[in-house]
Amino acid sequence: MLGTFQQSHLRIELNASEANLRASLLCPEEFRQWLWPQQFSANLPDKLQPGTRFTSWIGPIAIQHYVEAADEHHLRMLLSQGIDGFHEWHWGEGWVQSRLEGISALPLNLGQTLSLARLKQFLTASAS
């Protein structure tokens, strides 16, 4: 894998219930909306479960995802191809935390910051 080792840990507070955060992170129908323009494989289940495998694309760069853990407060995915590492999410009432580590040529901290801003915007619009 070409690139550099990068790590980013971000936590934000937002006006969203734990249930809405869980759905936004575990349900492909929802995360397709706030992670746009990132594209995802068509064969995703209604809800991510441990063992789920899928591909996402950021422009021409493919990222393979393997869901290692998914429960009421936590999601952990192993990543390969465009990012060799992992992405881990934790959430609760009014907060979400994202930890991303891996080797990539992509600017991981910038992408993670934009993703969290889009999630916050999506949840704010959904609450209106």
Write the CB contacts of 114 (distance below 8 Å, at least 6 apart in sequence): none
The model's pLDDT over 46-55, given as tens digits with 9 standing for 90+, comes to: 999 999 999 9
First to last CA, the chain: 43
Would you say the pTM of this structure is higher than 0.85?
yes
Q: Which domains does the chain have, with CATH numbers?
A: 9-127 (3.30.530.20)
Confidence of residue 123 (pLDDT cuts 50, 70, 90): very high
Confidence (pLDDT) at 1: 62
Contact assessment for residue 10 and residue 112, using Cβ atoms and an 8 Å cutoff: yes
